Amino acid sequence: MAVREIRLFGDPVLKSVSDPVRAFDGKLKALVDDLVDTTKLPGRAGVAAPQIGVNLRVFSYNVNGEVGYIINPELVEKSGELQLLDEGCLSVPGLWHKTPRYVFARVRGQNLAGDQIELSGTGLMAQMLQHECDHLDGFVYIDRLEGEERRAAMKNLRATDWFMR
């Protein structure tokens, strides 16, 4: 379908809790197609619907060659060690910070037919699942930072040429 423009930190849609999908129709199929096309660009592990200005609980992913989507995802498990991992975000371009993420994550949601599906994994897949579910709950990764890491992130954010002041 189409590669959509990414909304940047400061856009109110990124701070809103996304609405559940209720209508499994052609409009939803077009949204999923756009999300997948937007995620397929190099260097993208996932894109949540709010990042393209749509306040619905949907995200697409592209991790280790596996491309897909999930509708109405619910993060049902986070386990293993909590690690500080380098993390960035398309909505916060050019900034990378150590972000606390669990080693394993499992998400339960639906496909376009409305059937229940699950995604789970470790490494980048676990990080992406947590990151994209955060977007659907109105968080960006810098909201997870604490102390000196958060202060550094905010300083770096203010120094960008794209940040809305």
Catalytic positions, written as ranges = 132
Phi, psi of 3 (to 5 degrees): -85, 125
- What pairs with residue 63 in β-bridges? 66
Instruction: For residue 93, report the phi and psi dihedrals to the nearest 5 degrees.
Output: -65, 140
Residue 19 DSSP one-character state: B
CA 10/CA 14 separation, integer angstroms: 7
Q: Which two tokens stand for residue 141?
A: 């990764």
Q: Given the structure tokens 């949540």, which residue do they identify? A: 48
Edge to edge, the sheet with strand 46-48 lists 46-48, 58-63, 66-89, 92-110, 116-122
Give dist(CA 130, CA 12) in Å, integer.
20
Q: Comparing C-alpha atoms, which of 82, 89, 87 is closest to residue 59? A: 89
